[in-house]
Structure 1
Amino acid sequence: MNSHILIIEDDENIARVVQLELEHEGFNTSIAYSGREGLAILEKEKLDLVLLDVMIPELNGMEVLRRIRAVNEEIIVIMLTARNSVYDRVNGLDLGANDYITKPFEIEEVLARIRTQLRFHRIQVKDQSADVIFIQTLAIYPSSREVFIDNEPVELTPREYDLLIYLVENKNRALERDQILNYVWGYDYFGDTNVIDVYIRYLRKKLQGVNNKPLIQTVRGFGYMIKE
C-alpha cells in the first residue's frame, strides 16, 4: 500500500511541483493551503507523513505541529520553511518534528528525506517486539542488521557491524585491542592490531551524529569503549 502524504503549503506552485514529484514516485498525496485546511484533512484522512510549511495562513506551521502532536505522536512531520535560524529549527524539533528542510530546496533532497523517514518508521512498526538496541541516538536492529544514527540509516560493512555490536554489547566497559581482535577477527587472525584503529576510524566517521559527540571513546593506552 502506497504511503499517503499531506502537503501543507500556501505557495500553490511549490505545492504542485512537490505533489507531481511525489506522485511520480508512487505516493498518494493531498494538498492544503492553510493551517486550518491541513488540520481538517488530518482529521478525515489516514496519512503517513506531512510536509508542513512554517509560514502558512490562518494557523502557522508551528501551531499546526503542536496540535498534531497533541493527538498523534506517530505520524511523520517534516517541516518546510524559508527560515534558517537555529531557533526555528530547534523550536520545530522540540515540538515534535521528525525532520527540517529549509527553502530553497532540491526536490531530490525532499524525496530522500521522505524515503528515509518512512523507512525508519516502517522498521519500528514492523516488529515492535523485536530486540532493538538503543545507545544515545544510535539504533541497531539485530534481526535485519540495520543501523540508524539520528534516524538516518548508516551503511556498514559486515566487519564494521560486528565491531559495533561487540562494543555495544559491552557498553560502559573498556575493551582491550586483543579482546576486540579475537572476537571480531577471530583467534586465528595473525595480522596487525592496527586494523582495529583503522576500523574504529571508519565507524566514528559513519556514526557522527548531529551533536558531533563521538560515540566510541578511546581509553588511552588500553583500547576502546562505548559509554551510555
Structure 2
Amino acid sequence: MTTANNGNILLVEDEENLHDTLKLNLELEGYTVTSAYDGNKALKAVENEYFDLIIMDVMLPELDGISATERIRIQNIETPILILSAKNTTVDKVTGLKKGADDYLTKPFDLEELLLRVYKLIEKNKKLQDKETISDSFSFGDNQIFFNAQQATTWEGKTVELSKKETMLLKLLFENKNEVVTREKILQVVWGYNVFPATRTIDNFILNFRKYFEKDSRNPTYFHSVRGVGYKFTEV
C-alpha cells in the first residue's frame, strides 16, 4: 500500500494527540496530509486544495463535522468523507451518512481498520474518476481529435495543432462526456495543481475549443461552462 504519494488527505480533528498520531501513521502509509482543527478551517482548505479523502471528526469547535460535511456537499465537491465520532448509535451514523459522509468510524477505533478504510475509500474514488478510456482518436460532429499527434481536424476541414494541456483537457472532458467535471478536478489532473490558483486559464481553453470546434461559438453545442461548478462536454 506504500508508494511515493498514495493520495492527498485532509485530516480534520481537534484532539491534538489523536491528530498527531493519525497524521504520522497516514504519512507512513505514503499519504500527504493537510491538517485542520475546526470545521471552518476544513471548509477553507477544501476550497483551496484538491483532496482524495477527508477524515472528519464530528465534535469540532466553531462548526461541527456533520455541518461541515453538509456544506462541502452543497458545493458539489464529491471528495470521499470518512467521519470519526464518539457517538455510535444508529441514529448518529444514519445522520452522518445522510449529510454526505461515505463511511463512519466510531471512537475508539483500531488503527489498522482506519488505514484499511482510508485505502479502500481512496481506491474506490480513483476507480470512479477513471471513466471510460478513449483510444488515440475521438470524433464529434465533423471534428476529429488525434491525441498522440496533438492535432485536430475541424468541421471546416482545418488542421489545428493542440498543446499538450489542450489535448489532456479534451481527453478528460471526453472521458466524462455529458457530466460536469469540476474546476478542481481539471486543475489537479491537467495542471497537476494541488493548491488551486485563482485563474481563468480553463475558461480560456474552453473559449479556444469553441473557436475551433463549434459552428456558432456564442451558442455552443459541445463545450459548456457550468457556473460555479465546472465544465462539460455534451455529446449530441
Q: Determine which of 100, 108, 111 is the counterpart of 1:96.
A: 100
Residue in structure 1 matched with residue 42 of structure 2 by the alignment:
38
User: Structure 1: which 5+ residue stretches go unaligned?
Assistant: 131-228
Aligned to 2:209: none
TM-score when normalising by structure 1: 0.55
Question: Which residue of structure 2 aligns with residue 17 of structure 1?
Answer: 21
Match of 1:111 among 109, 115, 126: 115
Cα distance change, pair 92–129 in 1 and its aligned pair in 2 (3 A): farther
Q: What secondary structure does 1:64 align onto?
A: helix
Q: Within the alignment, does 1:86 sit opposite 2:86 as a pair?
A: no
| Among 49, 53, 57, the residue aligned to 1:49 | 53
Is 1:125 aligned to residue 129 of structure 2?
Answer: yes
Paired letter, 1:101 = L
Q: Distance in 2 between matches of 1:12 and 1:21?
A: 14
Equivalent residue in structure 1 for 2:76, among 72, 77, 80: 72
Equivalent residue of 1:114, what SS? helix
Cα distance in 2 for residues equivalent to 1:30 and 1:16: 11
Letter in 1 for 2:97: L
Larger relative contact order (C-alpha < 8 A, sep ≥ 6)? 2
The AA in structure 1 aligned to 2:69 is L
Query: Which consecutive segments of 4 or more residues in structure 1 shift more than 3 A?
Result: none
Q: Within 5 Å, give how 1:205-216 maps onto structure 2.
A: none
Amino acid at match of 2:68: V
Percent identity of paired positions between Structure 1 and Structure 2: 39
User: How many residue pairs align between the two structures?
Assistant: 130
Letter in 1 for 2:80: I
Change beyond 3 A, Cα 1:83–1:128? farther
Give me the TM-score of the superposition, normalised by structure 2: 0.53
Q: CA deviation at 1:111?
A: 0.5
> Alignment partner of 2:118: what SS?
helix
The whole-number CA distance in structure 2 between the counterparts of 1:44 and 1:86 is 34
Aligned residue type for 2:48: K
Q: CA–CA distance in 2 between the matches of 1:72 and 1:18?
A: 27
DSSP 3-state at the match of 2:14: coil
Q: CA deviation at 1:15?
A: 0.6
Contact 2:10 2:51 in 1 (8 A): yes
What is the Cα deviation at residue 128 of structure 1? 4.2
Distance 1:128 1:73 in 2: 21
Match of 2:66 among 62, 65, 68: 62
